[in-house]
């Protein structure tokens, strides 16, 4: 609807990447969320050390300065550059928390093999019964290397993007192969 394109196993339209997330690009989107979380954590920790030093160390008044930098600057308690540093640290913390929240949400969807639409409608028939099978279904067999090492690692998806087994079909196939 937003992109005016047809996407296999569409999950949602991502305003940050400007495209729909679906079957072919979910792995890259998930990697983006993971690295936003890692980078956000790293930047947040480093910024906190810098801001605490700029505020004069850790105390109750500097915690208040950190939470409300604009009023403290307005009343002359901190300088303008320190207010800017503190504001940037707050924005960084919010970005980290937002990225980690999205990572958590999409991790839950992935281990249940659901899209956002299916989650909202209570559709659970495409879960393959085990989290690892669901992860392979979404990220491919080399998912650890493809997510942690490089998006260029080959990890072909096991399906054609149109036909997906239900939990019933999966349990029938696994009992036949025994």
Q: pLDDT tens, 99-118?
A: 999 999 999 999 999 999 99
Mean pLDDT of 89-93: 93
Residue 14 known to be catalytic: yes
Percent of the chain with pLDDT over 90: 44
Q: Is the pLDDT of residue 120 over 70?
A: yes
Query: Is there a contact between 78 and 89 (Cβ–Cβ < 8 Å)?
Result: no
- Residue-wise pLDDT tens digits, 159-174: 888 888 887 776 656 5
Q: Structure tokens of 156?
A: 């072909």
- Catalytic choice (3, 14, 19, 94): 14
Give the pLDDT band of residue 177 (cuts 50, 70, 90).
Answer: low
Question: What pLDDT, on the 0 to 100 scale, is given for residue 114?
Answer: 92
Q: How far is CA 75 from CA 78, 81, 84, in A?
A: 8, 14, 15
3-state SS, 54-123, equals HCCCCCHHHHHHHHCHHHHHHCCCCCHHHHHHHHHHHHHHHHHHHHHHHHHHHHHHHHCCCCHHHHHHCC
Q: What is the average per-residue pLDDT within 128-152? A: 88
Identify the pLDDT of residue 1. Answer: 59
């Amino acid at each position: 609807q937003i992109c005016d394109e047809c996407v296999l196993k569409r999950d949602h339209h991502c305003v940050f990447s400007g495209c729909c997330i679906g079957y072919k690009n979910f792995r890259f989107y998930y990697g983006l969320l993971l690295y936003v979380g890692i980078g956000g954590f790293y930047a947040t920790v480093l910024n906190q050390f810098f801001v605490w030093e700029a505020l004069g160390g850790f105390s109750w008044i500097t915690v208040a300065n950190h939470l409300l930098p604009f009023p403290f600057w307005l009343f002359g308690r901190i300088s303008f550059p320190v207010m800017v540093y503190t504001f940037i640290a707050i924005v960084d913390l919010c970005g980290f928390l937002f990225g980690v929240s999205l990572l958590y949400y999409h991790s839950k969807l992935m281990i249940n093999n659901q899209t956002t639409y299916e989650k909202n409608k209570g559709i659970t028939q495409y879960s393959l019964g085990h989290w690892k099978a669901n992860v392979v279904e979404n990220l491919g067999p080399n998912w650890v290397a493809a997510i942690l090492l490089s998006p260029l690692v080959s990890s072909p998806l096991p399906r054609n993007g149109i036909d997906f087994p239900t939990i019933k079909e999966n349990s029938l196939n696994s009992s036949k192969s025994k």
